Amino acid sequence: MQLPSGLLHYTTPLGAQYSGDSRLLLQELTAGSVDLFVTSPPFPLLRPKEYGNPDQDTYVAWLLEFLRPAHRALKPDGSLVVDIGGAYQRGLPVRSLHQFRLLLACTDRLGFHLAQDFYWHNPSRLPTPAQWVTKRKIRAKDTVTPIWWLSKTPHPKADTRGVKTPYSASMRRLLADPRRHFAPGPRPSGHTVSAAFDADQGGALPANLLTMPNSASNDAYQRSCRNRGIRPHPAR
Ligand SMILES: C[S@@+](CC[C@H](N)C(=O)[O-])C[C@H]1O[C@@H](n2cnc3c(N)ncnc32)[C@H](O)[C@@H]1O
């Protein structure tokens, strides 16, 4: 990759960080060279953050300026993972459809496949907009953000064995004493559960619901910002 050296922020043995308008930086990438993009772009929020937020009407066209060169730069088995927050329409207890319009534009216009939809569940999200959620109490608290995993082909490079999750307490009991806690055979759901379930795989299969609060006030990121006198990012 040949990028203007003025945009180079720092390097480590693992790679380099460049800072700049990613619409331009993405164009510099060699076609078909990238395994994975992970991005959380600005969302069309009604209450803009200090870094600026595009509006709902022009959102998809604006974001395609980034995703088109990203698609070109991806390897055939590469993936693009994009986290897209939701928003209400101005003045109405009605949701904006930009997350879904973006997904359809990526599949129908850029040729991406939806490899899988993930959801970030943030239990500590504030109950906004106050008008609908806390004052009039006509809408539930919004705590879930979709994450679209897009791929160039139906078979992007993937292996969930690298992201197993800890077993639940009941699964640990089952693994410790399968005869007592596990009976293979048909379940009321119509599924037949086989004995293979009792083998310890070193962790559980990961799910597409990622539960992570972002309100910790003394985590490694916050401490590091404090130690260096840096203001934490408003959308960490
Ligand atoms: C929702 S925030 C995500 C921040 C991310 N979680 C992080 O920790 O860096 C969106 C970010 O995109 C940045 N941004 C907006 N337009 C951009 C552009 N054209 N090129 C690169 N970054 C941009 C904003 O400055 C903001 O930091």
Ordered domains of the chain (ranges, CATH) = 31-164+208-228 (3.40.50.150), 166-204 (no CATH)
Q: Is the pLDDT of residue 130 over 90?
A: yes
- Residue with CA at minimum distance from ligand 1 atom 8: 236
Q: Is the pLDDT of residue 198 over 70?
A: no
- Determine the 3-state secondary structure of 95 from DSSP: strand
pLDDT at 39: 96
pLDDT at 13: 96
Q: Quote the tokens at residue 169.
A: 């307490």
- Ligand 1 in reach of 41 Cβ (< 6 A): yes
The model's pLDDT over 164-191, given as tens digits with 9 standing for 90+, comes to 999 989 888 888 887 777 777 888 888 8
Out of 54, 69, 83, 142, the active site residue is 83
Active site residue 219: no
- Ligand 1 in reach of 128 Cβ (< 6 A): no
Read off the pLDDT of each residue in 66-90 and give the average, rounded to a whole number.
96
Q: Are 67 and 34 in contact (CB under 8 A)?
A: no
pTM for this predicted structure: 0.88
Alpha carbon distance 230, 224 (integer Å):
8
Q: Quote the tokens at residue 115.
A: 């490899």
Ligand 1 atom closest to Cα of 43?
Answer: 1
Q: Is the pLDDT of residue 6 over 70?
A: no
- Ligand 1 in reach of 51 Cβ (< 6 A): yes
Alpha carbon distance 165, 184 (integer Å):
23
State the DSSP H helix or E strand holding residue 178, giving kind and residue range, or none if neither.
Answer: helix 178-181
Active site residue 83: yes
- Between 53 and 8, the more confident residue is 8
